Amino acid sequence: MKLPASLADQIIAHAREEFPNECCGLIAGHGDEATRVLPATNAEGTPFMYVMDPREQMELMDAIDDAGEDMVAIYHSHTRSAAYPSKTDVELAFFPEPLYVIVSLQDPHAPVIRAFRLARSAPEGEQISEEPVEAT
Amino acid sequence: MSTVKIPPVLRQAAGGERTVDVSGATVGEVLTNLCDQHPAVGAQILTPDGELHKYVNVYVNDEDARLLQWTDTPVGDGDTLMILPAMAGGAR
């Protein structure tokens, strides 16, 4: 995924704003090129879980569709753990096409952004595949 | 018959259809019949026990079915159901 630095900054800023809770949102673009960040509300509002507000989810997905864009990724933050999908992340990954982007604030001074394709129904060991994030 | 709107994420599983007309007197019956017609949809939205996954939302005419009578909500001609898997996860 090609991620302009300005968008990476927006995602990190969102994660910091919501800290200690997890943040979530969508990344729109074309193909593997991210062009804008759409922050959403974590309806769960806890440090260990995110559930995107379902109404917002519907509206944001429609907005991306109406603009003729692709839903490049779904992002969320890990506030105390690495930028790697948890068991819960995999179990609840209903969307096989967009990437799942995780921003980690484990080291608050050095946030890390990584991207993964998740396949919840694949055999264990084949559910997570990392995709490179290219800063542009 | 109710009309079930299929979101893009489930469209391939539903044979590419954007909407499917499904019979059934309740939300539960419509979902069961839909998953019978399109087992690949069932594989995505049901648990291994055949229950609707906790993180799959269903709307009846834009109302959250969980705030109505959930799977017992009566539906019929002219009603529109929408299935929307949640975007969720977490560090634990």
Per-residue pLDDT of chain A (136 residues; tens, 9 = 90+): 999 999 999 999 999 999 999 999 999 999 999 999 999 999 998 999 999 999 999 999 989 988 999 999 999 999 999 999 999 999 999 998 899 999 999 999 999 999 999 999 899 899 999 999 999 9
Show the tokens assigned to A63. Answer: 């907005």
Q: Half-sphere exposure of residue A117, counting CA atoms within 13 Å on the CB side?
A: 11
Report the number of distinct structural domains present in chain A.
1
Could you say which of B9, B64, B90 has the minimum Cβ distance to residue A95?
Answer: B9
Quote the CATH superfamily of domain B2-85: Beta-grasp domain (3.10.20.30)
What letter represents residue A77's amino acid?
S
Domain residues for the domain of A51 are 2-135
CB-based burial of residue A125 (10 Å sphere; 0-12 exposed, 13-18 middle, 19+ buried)?
exposed
Distance from CA of A23 to the nearest CA of B (A): 10
State the smallest CA–CA distance between residue B22 and chain A in angstroms.
22
Q: Which residues of A touch B44 (CB under 8 A)?
A: 94, 121
Size of interface A-B (CB pairs under 8 A): 78
Binary contact (A44, B90; C-beta < 8 A): yes
Token pair belonging to A73: 């990724």
